[in-house]
Amino acid sequence: MERGADGRFDYVKLADLIKDARAKTIDVLQQIQAIEVFKLCTLNEFCACLELQKLESSDPAVGKSSELPHVHIDNLELHPGLLAQESKPTMPGSGLCPCQTIGRAIVDDAVSLIRTDSVLSMTSASPHSPHGDEQLQSQGGAYNGILSTLLFRVLPGAFIFNSNYALLPFYTHALAKQILKDNGKLD
């Protein structure tokens, strides 16, 4: 894709990239190629850097299936490995129950944000005007997601107002249809 005379990319072509990406799923070979190109670490290397427990599964079927394409569990890629980790057990009031690594990342990020936030350390007044707060509102139909607002704003005219490509950008077309059907938004 090339930039136009004004130095910008065509909004419609960018939107088409998003639509095409939703239609395709990544296979194992592309993940392995991405690791080689981007020099990504494995899940257990990532956990070692954070001094976390290495990937193990109490379910033998899960542990065995994750080893098959990788020969050894230490070679499991980062992203599939994060998804393969067991979630924390649910209990009343537990809310978010991520796996160990993602949970640690969320807590570390929250602590870092609180410690380094100049607004929290200087004053408790909001830095946003009412107009600024209004800009942070999610797009109707996006199930409180804010990414759709960003897509509509930075790619004006590329999506119609109720495009499920923009409202549910990280779902495959079939899953987005199912979500809308289950919520009574689609016949």
Q: Could you give the CA distance from residue 71 to residue 67 in angstroms, rounded to a whole number?
A: 5
**Residue 67 in domain:** yes
**Residue 148 in domain:** yes
pLDDT of residue 34: 67
**Residue 121 in domain:** no
Q: Name the β-bridge partners of 99.
A: 87
Q: 179: which residues sit within 8 A by CB, 6+ positions away?
A: 168, 171
Same domain, 16 and 58: no
Vertex 171: Cα angle to 59 and 140 (nearest 5)? 130
pLDDT of residue 46: 84
What are the tens digits of pLDDT across the range 30-88? 666 666 777 778 888 888 887 887 776 556 666 566 555 555 677 777 777 777 777 77
Number of domains observed in the structure of the chain? 2
pLDDT of residue 11: 85
Q: 31: which residues sit within 8 A by CB, 6+ positions away?
A: 77, 79, 80
Same domain, 63 and 11: no
- For residue 185, what are the domain limits? 1-23+139-187
**Residue 133 in domain:** no
What are the tens digits of pLDDT across the range 110-152? 888 877 776 665 555 566 666 666 666 666 667 777 778 888 8
pLDDT of residue 27: 57
**Residue 125 in domain:** no
**Residue 83 in domain:** yes
